[in-house]
């Protein structure tokens, strides 16, 4: 069973329908019957779909990482792939936030809107998140503690909390252990391969029978609750984020696919569309990971040993879309506060956000937690995050699609580099056709 073009079309239709219906209902949001439909129809459809996907995320990540490590076969090669992956992720994140700062400085989304700092949303965010909430607890975690927390002291707690960094760390250890005793562990490896087949069948069954309904519900409830009214109030901020996301998506990823991965970016987007449509509806890189893996391997032709390692790691630490939001939001809030950021402060934003993309992985509301860290680092009030909460859910849809595109792009580039290294792609003698290597 594979994610087909028809399913992608159905999901796209569902997304459009959800936006249209949600926007109409938003104009009547105070009506009791609209609230009932939003809560008991849209929300129920969306949350059931999310729960179904989240139900299999941990098994997918754990099994995929183990099999990916075993497939690589050589711990030294695995280490080199891991280093390349992290370097690529850090570079693209730094580019993303630098680009976002540049766009915001040019378009000035916060000019003339200082009164937004005195709204009820700012006070509410301060009392709920910055005074004893998850954001404050995450901000108080030191860098050394973050490094220590990568290694789980209790695997079952890590699994229950869906702490992806800890799950990935343990899965790598299991994979390396299986390589070391491969002759004695054939049955265990076969068990993992069979479990992977079962889990992926469940994932694709969920997609086939419930994805369109779930996507409709998630998008409809998002637009019913936020709608275009929130966009109008923060219109220039909204435009800045979308513009920076598009530039990064088209230029940075497009160039990487074209020049480093030696593929057509149009071909890439066409084949990766099923994962993009699910990402837009779920707003979660982790939730879309099972579909992203299946699409990358079967549509883009990325080998499982690369895809199964690079993409789960990216879903945890690669947050280019989120970094773009942070860059625009930091400049936006600085302009609201009447503060001109210095070159040094902007450099600090880039460095802190890039490092935090790894350090805060697995924390609930990770994007806003990272933003709070960035704002604090440059002397801005993190309570101002409350201003953008109203439209953050809508922007989250788009930036999640950007995030998973980055994961697949890096997987594609590293896969191509491995093909060249192993002699499977020889310049001038071989070429790619629909993702396959063929002789000219």
Residue-level pLDDT at 78: 85
Residue with more model confidence, 299 or 316: 299
Residue-wise pLDDT for 172-184, tens only, equals: 999 999 988 877 8
Count Cβ atoms below 10 Å from residue 228 Cβ, excluding itself. Answer: 17
User: Tokens 């992608």 label which residue?
Assistant: 8
Q: Are 58 and 159 in contact (CB under 8 A)?
A: yes
User: pLDDT exceeding 90 applies to what percent of the chain?
Assistant: 37
Report pTM.
0.86
Residue-level pLDDT at 181: 87
Please, which pLDDT band fits residue 433 given cuts at 50, 70 and 90?
A: very low
Residue-level pLDDT at 429: 46
How far is 179 from 186, CA to CA, in rounded Å? 10
For the purposes of burial, counting CB atoms within 10 Å of the CB of 322, is it exposed (0-12), middle (13-18) or buried (19 or more)? buried
How far is 409 from 256, CA to CA, in rounded Å? 7
How far is 188 from 182, CA to CA, in rounded Å? 9
Residue-wise pLDDT for 302-342, tens only, equals: 998 899 889 998 888 888 988 899 999 999 999 998 899 99
Does position 188 have pLDDT exceeding 80, yes or no?
yes
Q: Are 382 and 140 in contact (CB under 8 A)?
A: no
Provide mean pLDDT across the span 7-23: 88
Locate 433 and state its tokens: 């056709």
- Least confident range of 21-35, 62-76, 280-294, 419-433: 419-433
Q: Are 19 and 223 in contact (CB under 8 A)?
A: yes
Residue-wise pLDDT for 237-284, tens only, equals: 999 999 999 999 999 999 999 999 999 999 999 999 989 988 888 888
Please, which pLDDT band fits residue 139 given cuts at 50, 70 and 90?
A: low
Task: Report helix, strand and coil shares of the chain as percent, to nearest 5.
Answer: 80, 0, 20
Residue-wise pLDDT for 83-107, tens only, equals: 999 999 999 999 999 999 999 999 9
- Least confident range of 138-147, 171-180, 371-380: 138-147
Q: 346: Cβ–Cβ under 8 A, 6 or more apart, which residues?
A: 101
- Least confident range of 46-60, 184-198, 227-241, 285-299: 227-241
How far is 43 from 229, CA to CA, in rounded Å? 20
Locate 358 and state its tokens: 């790894």
Locate 294 and state its tokens: 């299946």
Q: 232: Cβ–Cβ under 8 A, 6 or more apart, which residues?
A: none
Locate 424 and state its tokens: 């499977």
Rg of the Cα atoms in the chain: 22
Tell me which DSSP letter residue 339 carries. Answer: -
Residue with more model confidence, 362 or 131: 131
User: pLDDT exceeding 70 applies to what percent of the chain?
Assistant: 88
Residue-level pLDDT at 149: 80
What distances in angstroms separate CA 207 from CA 10, 62, 298, one per listed residue? 11, 20, 15
Tell me which DSSP letter residue 163 carries. Answer: -
- Least confident range of 9-13, 159-163, 228-232, 381-385: 228-232
User: Tokens 């290694």 label which residue?
Assistant: 151
> Phi and psi (nearest 5°) for 262?
60, 40
How far is 116 from 336, CA to CA, in rounded Å? 8
Residue-level pLDDT at 192: 92
Mean pLDDT of the chain: 85
Provide mean pLDDT across the span 57-67: 89
Residue-level pLDDT at 203: 86
Q: Are 178 and 189 in contact (CB under 8 A)?
A: yes
Residue-level pLDDT at 371: 86
Q: Are 146 and 169 in contact (CB under 8 A)?
A: no
Residue-level pLDDT at 292: 92
Residue-level pLDDT at 162: 81
Q: 179: Cβ–Cβ under 8 A, 6 or more apart, which residues?
A: 69, 70, 73, 74, 75
CATH 1.10.3860.10 fits 5-424, yes or no: yes
Question: Inter-axis angle of helices 366-377 and 343-359, to 10 degrees?
Answer: 150
Residue-level pLDDT at 435: 45
Indicate the helix (H) or strand (E) that contains 430: strand 430-433
């Amino acid at each position: 069973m594979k994610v087909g073009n028809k399913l992608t079309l159905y999901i796209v239709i569902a997304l459009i329908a959800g936006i249209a219906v949600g926007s109409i209902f938003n104009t009547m949001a105070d009506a009791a019957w609209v609230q009932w439909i939003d809560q008991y129809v849209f929300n129920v459809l969306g949350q059931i779909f999310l729960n179904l996907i989240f139900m299999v995320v941990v098994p997918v990540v754990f099994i995929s990482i183990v099999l990916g490590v075993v497939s690589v076969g050589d711990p030294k090669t695995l280490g080199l792939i891991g280093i390349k992956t992290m370097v690529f992720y850090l570079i693209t994140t730094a580019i993303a936030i630098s680009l976002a700062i540049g766009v915001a400085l040019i378009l000035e989304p916060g000019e003339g809107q200082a009164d937004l700092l005195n709204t009820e949303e700012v006070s509410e965010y301060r009392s709920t998140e910055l005074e004893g909430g998850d954001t404050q607890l995450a901000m108080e975690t030191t860098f050394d503690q973050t490094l220590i927390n990568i290694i789980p002291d209790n695997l079952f707690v890590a699994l229950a909390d869906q702490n992806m960094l800890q799950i990935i760390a343990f899965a790598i250890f299991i994979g390396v252990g299986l390589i070391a005793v491969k002759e004695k562990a054939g049955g265990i490896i076969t068990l993992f391969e069979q479990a992977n087949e079962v889990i992926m069948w469940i994932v694709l069954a969920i997609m086939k029978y419930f994805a369109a309904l779930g996507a409709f519900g998630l998008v409809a409830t998002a637009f019913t609750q936020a709608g275009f009214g929130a966009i109008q109030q923060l219109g220039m901020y909204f435009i800045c984020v979308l513009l920076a996301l598009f530039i990064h998506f088209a230029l940075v990823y497009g160039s990487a696919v074209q020049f480093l991965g030696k593929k057509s970016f149009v071909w890439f987007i066409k084949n990766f569309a099923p994962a993009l449509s699910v990402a837009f509806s779920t707003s979660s890189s982790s939730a879309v990971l099972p579909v992203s893996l299946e699409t990358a391997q079967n549509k883009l032709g990325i080998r499982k040993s690369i895809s199964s390692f690079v993409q789960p790691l990216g879903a945890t630490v690669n947050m280019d879309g989120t970094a773009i939001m942070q860059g625009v939001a930091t400049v936006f809030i600085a302009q609201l506060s009447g503060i001109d950021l210095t070159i040094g402060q902007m450099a600090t934003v880039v460095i802190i956000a890039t490092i935090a993309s790894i350090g805060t992985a697995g924390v609930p509301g990770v994007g806003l937690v990272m933003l709070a860290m960035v704002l604090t680092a440059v002397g801005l009030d993190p309570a101002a995050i409350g201003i953008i909460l109203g439209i953050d859910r809508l922007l989250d849809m788009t930036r999640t699609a950007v995030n998973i595109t980055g994961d697949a792009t890096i997987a594609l580039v590293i896969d191509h580099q491995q093909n060249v290294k192993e002699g499977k792609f020889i310049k001038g003698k071989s070429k790619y056709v629909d993702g396959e290597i063929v002789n000219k």
